[in-house]
Amino acid sequence: MKKQLGPTQNFYPMPCPVVVGGTIDDPGALAVAWINIVSQTPPTIAMGLRRTRHTLERIRATGDFTVNIASTGQAAQVDLFGIVSGRTADKFAATGWTLSPSSSITAPIIDQCAYNLECRITNEVEVGEYAVILGEVVESHAEETLLDQTGKKCDVAKLDPLVYVAGSREYRGLGPKVADAFSCGKPLLPAGE
Amino acid sequence: MKKQLGPTQNFYPMPCPVVVGGTIDDPGALAVAWINIVSQTPPTIAMGLRRTRHTLERIRATGDFTVNIASTGQAAQVDLFGIVSGRTADKFAATGWTLSPSSSITAPIIDQCAYNLECRITNEVEVGEYAVILGEVVESHAEETLLDQTGKKCDVAKLDPLVYVAGSREYRGLGPKVADAFSCGKPLLPAGE
């Protein structure tokens, strides 16, 4: 038996990277759960930011931003980037996290986050009190020790990305592998398809 | 030491709901990993669909769609919705999954998925070969047995939502709780803040 719960922003699961805008000398950064890839050609990320956000000003000023994925062991640092405003606290001083130049854009990447995406804004859509920013992923960086055997992408078990759970407002990690995608559904197809 | 990996659509983690468009008699449905909330006011979901997708035609025809979250035990069914086209296979016959009317929109919800969102299209943005659809979440439904003690939202451990891992193209579940959000970062703040 199902129960109607009304309009909601609860959705499962969500990522929880730290998004950085601005420059190394004057950065803005915040934790963002409302973010995901939305296109492959070109690879594009979409994220929703409240329009009053300090970091949004930084992002618009340079027209680019970075997305920095942290591990479950870094939950406290990521959380700090979500609970205070850059207008009142120095989040980098509080976490001890540091920045390095990106290769293709102005916004810097976070050294302590193992996987970093460089994104250039291609579009912005207003949705109520939020700005939905679309950014093309023009470059990515990963810790070499976390790559899989191809050397071209992360081993997700080694990356151990932080996951945000809406509703209960908690952080989790990923569980063990359940099945192979683009494969485990094939036995359900009628013979011959 | 970090390695540059170039432009990429690999991002961690991703959800993997089944999106349904059309009507109960003529539905279109597919698994979508490129989807997330992007606004709270109003609650809005964004998803990227390849513009040639059969289900996209259905979604545009009625101007709405549903997002149906499955559990880790339903990986094979979700996978089937991702590996064949509705033009060549009856995905509902293959999975045995059934549809029920939504309460506020035309597109139906999947009975066997424990959590369902009803979404009405508010905007569409072209991004290369993809359409980014924005939809306001106007209603939600959840299995009563999976609600938390408030009765107003899912207990994510009971929901056990399926997670998609890009790159390695595999399904996972969520791991155990790591920390409380909007809380675990506070000890990093300087005294008095």
Please state the ipTM of this predicted complex. 0.97
Among A53, A188, A189, pick the best mutation site for testing chain B contact (most B Cβ within 10 A).
A188
- Taking the whole predicted model, whether its pTM rises above 0.80 is answered as yes
- Residue-wise DSSP of B131-180: EEEEEEEEEEEEEGGGB-TTSSSB-HHHH-B-EEETTTTEEEEEEEEEEE
Alpha carbons A153 and B7: distance in angstroms, whole number: 11
pLDDT at A193: 56
Tell which residue, B124, B128, B145, has the closest CA to residue B136: B124
Is A189–B94 a contact, with Cβ atoms under 8 angstroms apart? yes
Six-digit token pair at B6?
């170039």
How far apart, in whole angstroms, are the C-alpha atoms of residue B126 and residue B132?
Answer: 6
The three state secondary structure string of A56-125 is: HHHHHHHCEEEEEECEHHHHHHHHHHHHCCCCCCCHHHHHCCCEECCCCCCCCEECCCCEEEEEEEEEEE
Report chain B residues whose CB lies below 8 A from the CB of A123: 125, 127
Tens-level pLDDT at each residue, chain B (193 residues): 999 999 999 999 999 999 999 999 999 999 999 999 999 999 999 999 999 988 999 999 999 999 999 999 999 999 999 999 888 889 999 999 999 999 999 999 999 999 999 999 999 999 999 999 999 999 999 999 999 999 999 999 999 999 999 999 999 999 999 999 999 999 999 875 5
- How far apart are alpha carbons A65 and A87 in whole angstroms? 18
Q: What are the C-alpha distances in Å from B33 to residues B18, B166, B180? A: 9, 9, 25
As a whole number of Å, the CA-based R_g of chain B is: 18
Beta carbons of B193 and A84 less than 8 Å apart:
yes
pLDDT tens track for A72-89? 999 999 999 999 988 888
- Mapped onto helix, strand or coil, the DSSP state of residue B64 is strand
DSSP annotation of B17: P
Chain B CB contacts of A33 below 8 Å: 37
